[in-house]
A and B are shown apart, each in its own frame.
Chain A
């Protein structure tokens, strides 16, 4: 949830730079319903009863829904910051695919976040704990936003790119040329 800090920072920086939120309202994002549907789908997928029921379909459903949302993002590369978001998403997806449909998190990052050893989850999770030195783990969740900071979680280098891209999008759009009125 580190990302919500980037979104808030984007709005704050945009306002401090005398940007205009109205310009944000005028942006046209293609395939927007796909992004919203993707989020709703994944929230349901990772909810307790569903994550237990999906079984071996979990990784495919997770990777498939993420890939569709990435495709929707690629339809919008003309927007500022979206190339950075796409780069971060690609880095995350490489790590997720390398681990069979789950994002690897380092044991150390997990311990720092939770204060205890990893315990297996009951249902399908989009994350798997991996020991330090595992292949491509550096693309996984190796950083920690520690507690008691609100929204504490582990995060990856790809997440940082995605967050920076989102922040850049908001700042640039708010400070951009106002749309022509007809």
Chain B
């Protein structure tokens, strides 16, 4: 099954949130519409992490925050030469191991 890269829009006031909250951050309503974000985003900031937490191997781990239309998301960056403003797209993959289990989610790849 294809994974969807989504955000949540408040049905009452239209505020977009990612991740999901139990009440709207703006108007406190509780109904949201899940919608797909654009497939292309722009890198806002990033870091190359050399001191890794338990559960992740092989430094450096590049992490960044990217803006996809009306919402931003944080993720692992799959390029060696990240730059602020570069175009990225979300791709599904393994993020880390937690309690012996593989955890999957979206990572960001450079758009050629």
Q: Answer yes or no: do A and B interact.
A: no
